[in-house]
A and B are shown apart, each in its own frame.
Chain A
Amino acid sequence: MVQDPSRYKAFKAADFLADEYFAATRLAKNVEDVRFWESLISLYPEVAAEIELADQWIGLLRQQPVFKSSLNNEARWQRMKQALPSYEKQQNRRHMIRRYSRWTARVAAVLVSVFMLYEVSQMGAQVTNTAYGERRSMHLPDESIVQLNSNSKLKYVRDWKSDKPREVWLEGEANFHVKHTAVKNRLREDDYFIVHVGELSLKVLGTKFNVKDRRNRIEITLFEGSVQVDNAAGLQYVLKPGETFMYDRIKDEEQVLVDKSKEALSWTHGEMLVEHQKLSDIIEVLEDNFGYSVELKDSSFLNRRLSGVIPLTKVDDILFVIRHTMDLKIDKQGKKIIINTK
């Protein structure tokens, strides 16, 4: 290592001590290095005292007292040899536990990733199911309100992106109160709310309407605003408030009725409004919304009609009305209802 002597011209003792070359050569003396420092002193006599001081510091630091333990090496060795077997036993046990816990951790990691995969595969889908006899009211992320009738299912994506229309998928029956998000005079694709039901899609802005999909018949009743019904085959109809759009999924036939609004809405109050309705309509409700299977001993009853309001909250109340207004004998056994003449 060749050093430039002028570097050290103005060095103080502390600078020498801190200097790597100086320290290295003072700790491991070799003749060449000793000569370098000697020549430096003859070149710059003023650094002599500083080098001297730095040397003394190093000397003092090197000659620190060595502290000795009360244990000598042999005693220490014996002590360790005695402690070793129990130490090794303890370490081996710890090793086993560590290996065991590593396996548990692995199993846990697999379970977690399976769960994550499932979550990801669902892509944040939010599904609500209602049981027989259950009705549920819920708020969607955009503050629209949906009342879901019994035995129905509503599915939507958990977070609605602002640049896409809002979309929900319905099975069964639901009443929608959709929040209007469009700014006046500026309608965009993402302001739409789309309900997918069977093969139909209902495109709406802010409206109130009821959708019912039972027994391959879809009924859409509009209370306020407007709803545009589309299907893949090119069917298109724009409903006016008060209209009911009925679509037969088997026959692929549609029909528009008026004056069904009250009827369509009545379930949301826990009632069934029937005007000149056949017994068959009530049986449908018992089967679709409450999950009963109804057996008729005589099919001629099906065409018997009745009018009025039937409470829908309890099956027994419905049966009570039928029994007394139609004068029929009704037996309920578990999930089975048998209707017969008295």
Chain B
Amino acid sequence: MDKELLWWQSFRMGEEEAFKLLFERYSPLLFNYGYRFTREENVIEDSIQEFFMKIWHNRANLNDTVSVKNYVYKAFRRTLLIHIERANRKQNIPKEHLSFEIELPHDTKIMRKERLEEIKVQLQKALDKMTPRQREVIHLRYFEELSYEEIADIMGLSVKDLYKLFYRAMDSLRKNIAPFSLLVVLALLFEAKSS
């Protein structure tokens, strides 16, 4: 059995050791995920704290789960969104506004391709043209490597709606990358020939 699932089961029985292992495993990941929604560290930290206090307090009522990550992300996202909304209200930011930023690696030198910097700029531009929710799907799919079913569950969407959101993101990508892609192809072909 999965190590995390064992922790989860022990934690539900009230074992603090297992709870601490889950805490240490997930709180940095949740901070990173939360950082895409807001740059206010206090809001993220308070959400992380409240999320863990909540599951500890309610541990006896929690279900056994297939994927700990799926559950943790889903429940944390809900808590975080409440905290963000509360913080936004203080600053008179409309309720519907919920951003999500994808930041591509700053240092592309660790990757080999020379043209990567250009590709990165183009991809970043294309991502910036997407809606926050479209960016979130892409992040959860390619960074967190979650399945579509899990992403739909985390974001509180039906799988069908999630697919729609994802394909709209891909359409947007196609539209905004098209003229460049030909250039890249030529460049790569040229590169391939010369090497």
Contacts and interface: CB of A to CB of B under 8 A. Distances in A.
Interface of A: 12-15, 17-18, 20, 23, 27-28, 48-50, 52-53, 56-71, 73, 76-77, 79-80, 83-84, 87-88, 91
Interface residues of B, number: 50
Nearest to B166: A18
10 contacts: A23-B141, A49-B188, A58-B142, A60-B116, A64-B139, A65-B103, A73-B27, A77-B20, A79-B49, A88-B57
B28 A73 contact: yes
Nearest to A61: B142
A61 B44 CA distance: 22
Q: Which of A12, A57, A71, A91 has the most CB of B within 10 A?
A: A57
Contact of A62 (B31, B143, B148, B166): B143
Interface of B: 20, 23-24, 27-28, 31-32, 35, 41, 44-45, 48-50, 52-53, 56-57, 102-106, 108, 110-111, 113, 116, 119-120, 123, 138-139, 141-143, 145, 148, 166-167, 170, 173-174, 177, 181, 184-185, 188-189, 192
Contact of A73 (B24, B116, B181): B24
Given A23-B141, A56-B119, A62-B143, A49 B184 contact: yes
Contacts of B173: 14, 17
Contact of B106 (A48, A65, A67): A65
Interface majority SS on A: helix, strand, loop or mixed? helix
Contacts of B31: 67-69
Given A23-B141, A80-B49, A13 B181 contact: yes
Contacts of A66: 28, 32
A50 B57 CA distance: 51
Given A53-B181, A68-B31, A76-B27, A60 B141 contact: no
A336 to B, nearest CB: 73
